């Protein structure tokens, strides 16, 4: 059974479809990344999936429960982590978790809190005030709170926004550990390295799913060609290439330029005179996931209306 199996979900605000016929499946134990520009409909989709919002159209099952008629049951078995840190800053980690345990009517409270603290490596900080925690520890507390009731599905909305790289890495190690234990995870993120740690990713723009698959599949299916230009005078090369037919993207990467296009022949043609510049080398390069997303986003910087 798929943990998430939804078809043609539509949600409109003021006549505008912010979720536009989204169809998605997530297998049990899978970690799926949800990517897309701000305002593309990720949060709204996630909130529909955890039973907090009713779709205007579409249907589906989450954890085997009907999205429309069994949202209460879904809520009970889903852990949802919102973007905002929503804890009592003047309570300790332990007290915050006790509060959450009572909300979920977990008994005995003390035992659930102790196990969760232990599980997430928070035991030594039990008595620290939540308000004094660093970003990484706050995320860990938020994760602890949303897995304490032992959900089968985790829906994480940009869980690591603003968290430093080391803490992000630890957070993802934790996500993988939980998935190995059978938990299914749908996680929205803006970070490419995080997308690469997912089993599969889905990319959404203006409410529509544009691509789904493994990172390799999404990169391959985008059908882009990339050349790496190195050598002298790269600023002038970039300037010369900008806006040329066949050139969709020109981006500096360290001491090189990545030049990307969707029409290989046109891109090759655009690079002909660059190859002839003294001291400049043009070599075929690997298209990155970031190149693909920038291509998707071209022309639509932001989906906010």
Name the minimum Å distance from CB 25 to ligand ADP: 20
Selected binder of ligand ADP within 8, 27, 28, 39 (CB under 6 A): 39
Please give the distance of CA 287 from its chain centroid, rounded to a whole number.
20
The answer to the question of residue 38 lying near ligand ADP (CB under 6 A) is yes
Site for ligand ADP in 43-72 (CB under 6 A): 43-44
Name the minimum Å distance from CB 144 to ligand ADP: 24
CA atoms within 13 Å, Cβ hemisphere of 216? 1
Name the one range near ligand ADP by CB under 6 A: 2-10, 33-41, 124-132, 216-224.
33-41
Whether residue 249 contacts residue 243, with contact meaning beta carbons closer than 8 Å, is answered with no
CA gap 249, 259 in Å, rounded: 6
- The smaller minimum CB distance to ligand ADP, of residues 53 and 292, is found at 53
Whether residue 166 contacts residue 155, with contact meaning beta carbons closer than 8 Å, is answered with no
Question: Closest by alpha carbon to 12, among 50, 54, 49?
Answer: 54
CA atoms within 13 Å, Cβ hemisphere of 264? 7
CA gap 223, 77 in Å, rounded: 39
Selected binder of ligand ADP within 32, 42, 168, 215 (CB under 6 A): 42
The answer to the question of residue 41 lying near ligand ADP (CB under 6 A) is yes
Name the minimum Å distance from CB 18 to ligand ADP: 3
The residue ranges that bind ligand ADP (CB under 6 A) are 13, 18, 36, 38-44, 303-305
């Amino acid at each position: 059974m798929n943990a998430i199996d939804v078809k043609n979900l539509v949600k409109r605000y003021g006549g505008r479809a912010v979720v536009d016929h989204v169809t998605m499946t997530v297998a049990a134990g899978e970690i799926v990344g949800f990517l897309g520009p701000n305002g593309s409909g990720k949060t709204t989709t996630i909130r529909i999936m955890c039973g907090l919002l009713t779709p205007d159209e579409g249907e589906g099952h989450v954890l085997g429960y009907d999205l429309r008629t069994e949202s209460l049951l879904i809520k009970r078995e889903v852990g949802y982590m919102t973007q905002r840190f929503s804890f009592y800053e003047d309570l300790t980690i332990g007290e915050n978790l006790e509060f959450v345990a009572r909300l979920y009517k977990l008994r005995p409270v003390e035992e659930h809190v102790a196990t969760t603290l232990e599980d997430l490596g928070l035991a030594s900080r039990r008595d620290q005030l939540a308000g004094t925690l660093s970003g990484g520890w706050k995320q860990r507390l938020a994760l602890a709170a949303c897995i304490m009731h032992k959900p089968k599905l985790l829906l994480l909305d940009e869980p690591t926004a603003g968290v430093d790289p080391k803490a992000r890495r630890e957070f993802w190690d934790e996500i993988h550990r939980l998935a190995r234990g059978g938990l299914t995870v749908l996680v929205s993120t803006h970070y490419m390295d995080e997308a690469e740690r997912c089993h599969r990713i889905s990319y959404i723009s203006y409410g529509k799913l544009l691509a789904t698959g493994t990172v390799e599949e999404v990169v391959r299916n985008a059908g882009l060609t990339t050349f790496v230009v190195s050598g002298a005078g790269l600023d002038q090369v970039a300037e010369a290439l900008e806006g040329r037919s066949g050139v969709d993207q020109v981006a500096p990467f360290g001491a090189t330029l990545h030049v990307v296009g969707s029409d290989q022949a046109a891109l090759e043609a655009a690079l002909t005179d660059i190859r002839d510049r003294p001291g400049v080398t043009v070599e075929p390069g690997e298209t990155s996931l970031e190149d693909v997303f920038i291509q998707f986003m071209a022309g639509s910087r932001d989906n906010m209306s």
